[in-house]
Amino acid sequence: MTVNFPPGFLWGAATAAYQIEGAAQEDGRTPSIWDTFSRTPGRTLGGDTGDVATDHYHRRAEDVRLMAELGLGAYRFSVSWPRVQPTGRGHASQPGLDFYRALVDDLLDRGIRPVLTLYHWDLPQELESAGGWPERGTAHRFADYAHLVAEALGDRVELWTTLNEPWCSAFLGYGSGVHAPGRTDPVAALRAAHHLNLAHGLGAQALRAALPSRAQVSVTLNPAAVRGRTDSPEDRDAARRIDALATRIFTEPMLRGAYPADLLADTAGLTDWSFVHGGDPDVIQHPLDSLGINYYAPTVVSAATDNAPSREDGHAPADRSPWPGADRVAFHRAPGKRTAMDWSVDPTGLYELLTRFTREFPGLPLMVTENGAAYDDKPDGDGVVHDPERIAYLHAHLDAVRRALADGADVRGYFLWSLLDNFEWAYGYSKRFGAVYVDYATQARTPKSSARWYAQVVRTGHLPPY
């Protein structure tokens, strides 16, 4: 039998500016931390950079046509901060804003709802040189930037997201150093996490002040579906510790107005958290219209032993841990089939997260803002790209969303990651997440079989038998 999704369910696909736009030095754009990081030898696989990426800056109209052909109801994109505010402060760059005005107009002309993310990891390098996210002033600069973009696009964009995956910005960028800016300081990572929370609150305030009342404000997190390797008290405590660092460090201040006491206790040996100022919790706990959830794979942990692996956490190998205060936690490979990222295929984690947040934060609508998989896709002799593994992945995870809906979760939409193959951060161009295949030598776009399958789901609102 086919499975129906509710009327009005929002079907979309997602991208990020640095991963697709290219045009890194055009129309006044200045370097972001990812420009600096990717141009530093040894930081990315093969020395790949996003200088050209998939050239979306010049192929915008073609890409929007592709979205329309796939019948997408929404497109989640991010704005490049250094493209619209090159120094991270002061006046906006009109050519940069004009690109996003044209993108939004193209989307609306084709009946596609624009879903705008203000920050997907591309901090202007000038702000990083002034201290970056560990410095409080960066949060205030973000609020100014949010106001600029809202004034320019608020008459046409109704769905706004402040931050994408602040965990990655803080802990991969400043803890393990496998993401830009590549720093390895656990205290700086915790400071960055707080200032990202503060930036979210200040940015949300700035959006509310500049946007029409019909606009909706959200944030996108990548909460961890953490599982103890066993049900022992030691492994349950390891799972609690990682849940605090991965998930509750953001959800509790954003949605309850305070950091969890166990997180503060776990990290007391590193910091007294004096960087949290009076009044910060009230700013961070700004009312949200929805919460975005990104999910790829579960996290399996145990209490560390002398023989236990400690870095199988799904992120790029690093000498330094992105988990401050969790030195005695070991990470393990989750069972099951693997993607090209070596991540397990386990849709039960998505179901767990959707039902958990419905239970813990009743009345808050949810969106699955990223979900997808990388596989080693290649065109066949006729130029067709068959990716049955991705279809199986998407089917299983959409069925998890369907089950969560049936069990009472208020899920309003689903965004496939990603629309296009693109620059996959430290992995360069070696991992393909796209529903559309990109030949990086020619920039030719070819929808994969998964794109056609997803278009059928979007068109019918039904999940067909598999």
- Residue 312 pLDDT > 90, yes or no? no
Q: Is the pLDDT of residue 9 over 90?
A: yes
- Could you write out the DSSP letters of every residue in 330-362? EEEPPSS-B-TTS-B--THHHHHHHHHHHHHST
Given the DSSP bridges, would you call strands 444-447 and 436-439 parallel, antiparallel or unpaired? antiparallel
**Average model confidence (pLDDT) across the chain:** 96
First to last CA, the chain: 10
**32-56 tens-digit pLDDT:** 999 999 999 999 999 999 999 999 9
Predicted confidence at residue 169, as pLDDT, reads 98
Task: Give the containing element (helix H, strand E) for 164.
Answer: strand 159-164
pLDDT at 315: 76
> Averaged over 212-217, what is the pLDDT?
97
Mean pLDDT of 347-376: 98
Find, among 351, 334, 349, 339, the residue nearest to 450 by Cα.
Answer: 339
Question: Can you give the pLDDT at residue 311?
Answer: 61
Give percent of the chain above pLDDT 90.
Answer: 95
* Window from 37-51, 194-208, 294-308 with minimum mean pLDDT: 294-308
- Work out whether strand 444-447 and strand 113-119 pair parallel, antiparallel, or are unpaired: unpaired
Structure pTM?
Answer: 0.97
Owner of token pair 């499975």:
3
Outline where DSSP puts E strands in 36-144: 74-78, 113-119
> 211 near 292, Cβ under 8 Å?
no
- Top pLDDT among 204 and 2 is at 204
Evaluate if residue 308 carries a pLDDT over 60: no
The residue among 90, 168, 88, 143 whose CA lies nearest residue 283 is 143
Confidence of residue 316 (pLDDT cuts 50, 70, 90): confident
For 87-120, the pLDDT digits (tens) are 999 999 999 999 999 999 999 999 999 999 999 9
The percent of residues in the chain predicted with pLDDT above 70, rounded, is 98
Q: Compute the CA torsion angle 216, 421, 448, 451 (nearest 10 deg).
A: 0
Give mean pLDDT, residues 206-213.
Answer: 98
- pLDDT of 124 higher than 80: yes
Residue 406 has pLDDT above 90, yes or no: yes
pLDDT band at residue 4 using 50, 70 and 90 as cut-offs:
confident
21, 128, 135, 165: which is the annotated catalytic residue? 165
The pLDDT of residue 353 is above 60: yes
370 among known catalytic residues? yes
Rounded average pLDDT over 325-351 = 96
pLDDT at 313: 65
Model confidence at 309: pLDDT above 80: no
CA distances from 196 to 166, 203, 296, 324, 445 (A): 6, 10, 22, 17, 35
Confidence label for 83 from pLDDT (cuts 50, 70 and 90): very high
- pLDDT score, position 319: 83
SS3 content of the chain, % helix, strand, coil (to 5): 40, 15, 45
The pLDDT of residue 379: 97
Task: List b or e across 256-268, with b for residues whose CB sees 16 or more CB atoms inside 10 angstroms.
Answer: eeebbeebbebbe
What is the mean predicted confidence (pLDDT) over 351-380?
98
The residues that bridge with 367 in the sheet, in sequence order, are: 292, 413
Of 135, 370, 389, 424, the active-site residue reads: 370
Integer CA distances (angstroms), 40 to 45, 113, 115, 429, in order? 11, 37, 32, 16
- The string of pLDDT tens digits covering residues 145-168 is 999 999 999 999 999 999 999 999
Close Cβ partners of 382 (under 8 Å, ≥ 6 residues apart): none
- Predicted confidence (pLDDT) per residue in 228-248, tens digit: 999 999 999 999 999 999 999
Neighbouring C-beta atoms of residue 139, cutoff 10 Å? 22
Q: What is the mean pLDDT of residues 395-418?
A: 98
The reply to whether 389 belongs to the active site is: no
